[in-house]
Amino acid sequence: CKILRCNSEYVAATLHLRGPERGSAFCTALRSYSLCTRRTARTCRGDLAFHSAVHGIEDLMIQNNCSKEGPTAPPRPRPPAPNPHGFESLDICDYEQSFLYKHGRPPGFQHCAAFGDPHIRTFHHDFHTCRVEGSWPLLDNDYLFVQATSSPVAKGSNATVTSKLTIIFKNMKECIDQKVYQAELDNVPAAFQDGSVNGGVRPGGSSLVIRERSPGRHVEIRAGYIGTTIAVRQAGRQLSFSIRAAEEVARAFSEEQDLQLCVGGCPHSQRMSRSPRGRGRVPADTARALCREMLPVEDVYFQSCVFDVVTSGDANFTMAAHGALEDARLFLPDAEKLHIFQ
pLDDT at 71: 79
CA dist 284 and 277 (Å) reads: 11
What pLDDT score does 243 carry? 98
For domain 109-268, the CATH architecture is: 3-Layer(aba) Sandwich (3.40)
Nearest CA among 200, 240, 204, 197 for reference residue 221: 197
Quick check: 165 and 151 in contact, CB under 8 A? no
What is the model's pLDDT at position 78?
Answer: 45
Residue 40: strand pairing partners: none
Beta strand 134-140 pairing with 127-130:
unpaired
pLDDT score of 81: 45
Order of strands across the sheet that contains 134-140: 134-140, 144-152, 160-169, 179-184
pLDDT (tens, 9 = 90+) of the chain, 342 residues, equals 778 888 888 887 877 776 665 778 888 888 998 999 888 888 887 788 888 888 888 888 888 888 888 877 655 444 444 444 444 456 889 999 999 988 888 999 999 999 998 999 999 999 999 887 889 999 999 999 999 999 887 676 666 889 999 999 999 988 999 999 999 999 999 999 999 999 988 888 999 999 999 999 999 999 999 999 999 999 988 999 999 999 999 999 988 888 999 999 999 988 888 775 555 788 999 999 999 999 999 999 999 999 999 988 889 899 999 999 999 999 998 888 999 998
User: What is the tens place of the pLDDT at every residue in 198-214?
Assistant: 998 888 899 999 999 99
Q: Which residues fall within 8 angstroms of residue 217, CB to CB, at 6 or more apart?
A: 188, 233, 234, 235
Question: What is the reported pLDDT for 327?
Answer: 97
117 contacts 308 by C-beta, under 8 angstroms: yes
Which pLDDT score is estimated for 244? Answer: 97
Q: Cα separations (Å) of 149 from 68, 94, 140, 231, 297?
A: 50, 32, 15, 17, 30
Whole-number pLDDT of residue 187: 97
Q: What is the number of other CB atoms lying within 10 angstroms of the CB of residue 334?
A: 10
CA–CA separation, 236 and 322 (whole Å): 13
Q: What is the pTM of this model?
A: 0.73
Asked if 148 and 165 touch (Cβ cutoff 8 Å), the reply is yes
Compute the distance between CA of residue 324 and CA of residue 166 in angstroms, rounded to an integer. Answer: 18
- The answer to whether 81 and 290 are in contact (CB under 8 A) is no
What are the pLDDT digits (tens) for 278-334? 557 889 999 999 999 999 999 999 999 999 999 888 898 999 999 999 999 999 988
